[in-house]
Structure 1
Amino acid sequence: MNYLIKSVSSIARLCIGHNIQGNASTLLRHCTNSDTTGNTSLVRHLTNSNAAGLSGLQLVRGKVSLYQMHRRGPLIKKRKRARPLDGNPFLKGVVLKTLIKKPRKPNSANRKCVLVRLSNGKEMTAYIPGIGHNLQEHNIVLCRVGRTKDLPGVKIKCVRGKYDLPHPVKRTGP
């Protein structure tokens, strides 16, 4: 690997010194005529990469100076935000199937969920909050954004008291 790096850097130095364009034949001719012995196979490999749309010289990168790094500033990557409902606060959906999901490790109670086909065409799993429900296939529910932490892949919740999902029943004391 070290030999490869040395040979690529010597080829790049040679091409920059002779002011050569990245043409395959001229690059090969100049490198075979020079004092860099044993680099012809590497040059052939680099020039054969022209078929992929890159010239051999584009594979070699220059180092950036501290001043250039200072001018450019720190590299800040943009994070993609998860938008399960494409930026909408609520979406209507049709229940395809009722599910019982098991939560992640420390928790153990089964969670009641439904597979919903939303009005934007996506099929997602939605959590049903509260105790008890009467949802079946073809029922219509309103879904809002809100992930359930201990259920992997569940990013939306059903809204109680809208369409076919009634309010939770108030439990009386003992």
Structure 2
Amino acid sequence: MKTTSLKKWFNAKDRTFKENPSSFKRGVVLAVRTMTPRKPNSALRKVARVRLSNKQEITAYIPGEGHELAEHSIVLVRGGRVKDLAGVKYHIVRGRFDTTGVAGRQTGRSKYGAKKSGAPKTAAAPAA
């Protein structure tokens, strides 16, 4: 596992780091910015600088189209690098804490925290 920041937790009483791998970590956004990918790709990828609950600072990718993240937003971070962004080894989970799901997403909704669209289903009235 290359996502070393997900392996540690901070013991505030002893002021030490202990090892205990976890799949996700909560964090606070310090800054939101864009990065340019490596050659031969060209784009402005959205990333956030995040301070995790174990006091470590990481750069995490914001997947999907559009986001409402700003400084001091609470996010959930998972592992998973972005191949064309140098040093980005984490993804922000959409649809958890202050991160909204991708609006209007039809396919792959579970990956982007999008709810099922369409008319809400109502229970059929029993025949009398």
* Superposition TM-score, scaled by structure 1 size: 0.51
Residue 74 of structure 2 is aligned to residue 154 of structure 1: no
RMSD: 1.4
Residue 9 of structure 2 is aligned to residue 82 of structure 1: no
Identify the structure with the greater strand proportion: 2
| Match 1:125 to one of 55, 59, 69 | 59
Structure 2 Cα separation of the partners of residues 83 and 112 of structure 1: 19
Q: Which residue of 1 aligns with 2:122?
A: none
* 1:95-148 deviation per Cα after TM superposition (whole angstroms, max 9, x unaligned): 000010010001101100000000011000000000000101000000000000
Q: Which residue of 2 aligns with 1:3?
A: none
Name stretches of at least 5 consecutive residues in structure 1 with no aligned partner: 1-80
Q: Which residue of 2 aligns with 1:141?
A: 75
The structure with the largest alpha-carbon Rg is 1
* Superposition TM-score, scaled by structure 2 size: 0.69
- 1:82 Cα shift? 2.0
Q: Which residue of 2 aligns with 1:100?
A: 34
* 1:36-94 deviation per Cα after TM superposition (whole angstroms, max 9, x unaligned): xxxxxxxxxxxxxxxxxxxxxxxxxxxxxxxxxxxxxxxxxxxxx52331121000000
**Contact 2:51–2:57 at 8 Å: present in 1 too?**
yes
Aligned length, in residue pairs: 92
Give the fraction of aligned pairs with identical amino acids, expressed as a percent: 53
Name stretches of at least 5 consecutive residues in structure 2 with no aligned partner: 8-20, 107-128
- 1:171 Cα shift? 5.8
Structure 2 Cα separation of the partners of residues 168 and 99 of structure 1: 18
